[in-house]
Structure 1
């Protein structure tokens, strides 16, 4: 059984392993009123990745807790859009890195207003000098270890919406908070999940829609040469809160902007 901590209650214990070692996971869930359209995908990822880390949870218990939190907090936002931040840690206790075998997981629930929709006309993106290192054992997991993204995100501000991060091989992997889809004449290109620090929920939704529609999509390394060449016919960023965001300018290069990917996925350019 998990121990639940809510935003209006006392915080996590000082010896919580999430605070001490980043030993845990988090989900950022977009809601409208008491409804979160992508809740099943968030639950699936949270359950799967908790299993990969050896954090014992019961999906049904977590689903009940999140559904109740959605109902309880929705009134703060008058039926509008808002965010439920869910943090799961291994629990409190244990000296040093070795966890106590008998600890129970902690679940922290926090709510906040949703950010504004990105501009439909597209956003400005650049490349980050901060390298992204992905441990194969942790690839794709939205763990609490996000310091590289924090360092890269310090560059954001003004018209700069996002920066793209590259791995040791020089392949462009993802943004600080987004996954990447590249439009080419051959179809859509996106980095393989095994190379990702975070395999986003919206990335999964987009891939499922593309596969279902029979659209050509390839999971393969994305290079600077592809992104900055005529082969690149457009770039979209995906995020479960922001939706599908077209890029109009990449490192000074103007890109075509349309909402084709959003239409293929049955979404408006302003994610509902």
Structure 2
């Protein structure tokens, strides 16, 4: 029956909308992508919040306005200048005012976008005084993390994707790792990132962090997580056959929990040694 088919279709539409809403509500709390999510993951750092504002409140309205304006011009031209409405074609070859307008207006739009864009880049690359420094080294196909000695660290460990057979309740397929990066909440964390073999990229969307890991070069970025939780990312540069299997997991904890973790980590990773802050600042890639 047509009525039954219509009812079934409407139910499917509402179910899909409900899934989108539920997915985005879950994404607001999760530190990882969720099914049916169509927006960003929740911002838990000032940089990530700025990125969301830049995209959602500035770029997106400008894009929508330009698309509607161009679509309106196209429709106007279709109906106003077709052969029926204009049996005698116009012989106009140019219009100085129009040419000036379509040169000046795009420049003004780009300037409007550029100012907050440069401000965002400055905030990402000009690092405030750090409370903690961690060195991340991308390798095929996992990450190594070094907590320097003179910041109460002195150990290094590898962070490798958990096999499906090792996943525990609460773990996430293709995102959970055996050893997470642990940092305290509301502290400035400076990430020094390099590569040991090919170019990788250290990206955690909830933290607003994206920086390339280039062999022989030390790149720096920073974040300040304002909420506890586990936030996931992935390598974002095609780095070989297992590129899709080198996730990033950052656990943000309270200061007492971080201090306790440091003491346990020193014992757990004692055999790996560790480097000083001066070594961690070297421009050479950390090799195994």
TM-score by length of 2: 0.25
Larger radius of gyration: 2
TM-score by length of 1: 0.26
Higher helix proportion: 2
